[in-house]
A and B are shown apart, each in its own frame.
Chain A
Amino acid sequence: MGAHEMMTADAVTIQSQPTMRLEYQQERKSLTHFLGQGVQGVQVIKVPPEWTWQVEPIKKILGALLLPENWDSYGGHAPGIGSAAAAIDFIAQITHEDPPRPRVVPLGTGGVQLEWRNGQRELEVECSPDGSIEVLKIEGDSEGEQCPSFNTADITSLFSWLLAA
């Protein structure tokens, strides 16, 4: 798909509430540049044309925004723009070309959790509605270790660990 061609996630076009949609753009920029105002108040995520594996998890993240309140039957909140943006921003900072695909799990807190597994190693990235991120490294049956994920170098280090399993 070429630059500036529009790609819209089906999951987010079948409803009327304002949300986000995907759009390709020519240059890779930070998420603050990905988010733009589209027609009728719809947020637009401009996806760099070189992105491949990233598109599917982003669609899932956007799909999670459509969950109704009490989606889990326990009074769970639907993920919000803040947690979705944090999750997409995390994905945007992964520099590995072909990492394992993340699982996208909405949280009853209104957050979004990304999960990667490679053999006995797992990464859990919890993105909260306020945009904060907590990363847990888990190996086998161990309890897990919280890790920093402040910048691209931290995230590259996390994925080097995951892929070395």
Chain B
Amino acid sequence: MSERLPADADDQSISGDEILYRRIPLNPSEMIQETDVPGEFRPSSGNFRSEGPLSVDRSSLSSPEQTRDRAKPAVFHIMWLQNSEGSSAG
């Protein structure tokens, strides 16, 4: 997000189609849950609760691996969402 935008502003310079990445801790394990599709998981909505703006990595600037490894040595899942979903999630 651009630095001069207010914290709650929707940064229109980022395409709504852009994929965003965010780390999810492995522990507690209930931060994610299995969907009805075997092998597929979805993040708990709790992953979107934040005191300030939600920090994410843009896929145009970072790979999932880079997002994951930025917090080494801790190990994380990576969730992805489209920017348009992120905007609606706040």
| B25 interface hit (Cβ, 8 Å) | yes
Q: Which of B44, B50, B51, B74 contacts A105 (CB 8 A)?
A: B44
Contact status A113-B46, CB under 8 Å: yes
**Chain B, Cβ-Cβ closest to A113:** B46
Size of the chain A interface, CB-CB below 8 angstroms:
22
Contact A113:B45 (CB < 8 A) given known A72-B23, A73-B71, A105-B31: yes
Are B50 and A106 in contact, with the CB atoms below 8 A?
Answer: no
Q: How many residues of B contact A (CB 8 A)?
A: 20
**Contact, CB under 8 Å: B44 / A72:** no
A64 within 8 A of B: yes
A107-135 residues at the B interface, CB under 8 angstroms: 107-109, 111, 113, 115, 117, 124, 126
Rounded to whole Å, the gap between the CB of B36 and the closest CB of chain A is: 11
Q: Are A106 and B71 in contact (CB under 8 A)?
A: no
Task: List residues of chain A with CB within 8 A of the CB of B87.
Answer: none
Question: Can you name 19 A-B residue pairings with CB atoms under 8 Å?
Answer: A60-B28, A63-B28, A72-B24, A73-B23, A73-B74, A73-B76, A103-B30, A103-B44, A104-B28, A104-B30, A105-B31, A105-B44, A105-B47, A106-B28, A106-B46, A107-B49, A109-B49, A113-B46, A117-B33
Residues in B lying within 8 Å of A, measured CB to CB: 22-25, 28, 30-31, 33, 44-47, 49-51, 55, 70-71, 74, 76
| Known contacts A105-B46, A113-B44, A117-B33; 9 further A-B pairs (Cβ under 8 A) | A71-B25, A72-B23, A72-B24, A72-B25, A73-B71, A73-B74, A74-B23, A76-B50, A105-B28
